[in-house]
Amino acid sequence: MPKLDLDAVPATAGNLYPEPLRAAVRGRSVRRLGPAAGLTDFGVGHVVLAPGAATSQRHWHEGEDEFVVILEGEAVLIEEGSRVTLRAGDCAAFPKGIANGHQIVNESDAPVVLIGVGRIPGTDCHYSDVDLHFSAADRQYRHKDGAPY
């Protein structure tokens, strides 16, 4: 059925950072709708952020566009030196290669539900605030100096 039964799609914690950086995304639940529905051109994540949870550490991708639309709740989009409130119906886009890390944080007392669209990262991902780097070559999280976690 093209209409997706969200309850039938497993909700996971999503990609997990090494400790102790994982704490930021505790309370994040991700349903990967693309594989569930048979889509391959792009990925679609149905994301629920419990109060206090973030979509990610603040990051930017060298080679993958990202798009987000808020379905429920109120979140804060954090970038370098900026904080913008996102509410239901608000859209945000993050073109590849723009070196301004972003994250979306639920600072409210109610859940935030959003849809994120992107692709499986095939390029490096840079983290703005923490000592983390995603190396596409071997699909590993490392310290910025290349040392393993």
Using CB under 8 A as the criterion, which residues of the chain lie in contact with a second copy when the complex forms?
1-4, 6, 33-34, 37-42, 44, 46, 64-65, 67, 69, 71-72, 77, 79, 84, 86, 88-96, 102, 113, 115, 117-119
In the complex with a second copy, the residue whose CB is nearer, 18 or 67, is: 67
In the complex with a second copy, the residue whose CB is nearer, 70 or 132, is: 70
C-alpha–C-alpha distance, residues 71 and 89, integer Å = 6
In contact, 105 and 54? CB cutoff 8 Å: yes
C-alpha–C-alpha distance, residues 83 and 113, integer Å = 19
In the complex with a second copy, the residue whose CB is nearer, 51 or 95, is: 95
C-alpha–C-alpha distance, residues 145 and 134, integer Å = 12
- Smallest distance, Å, CB 40 to a second copy? 6
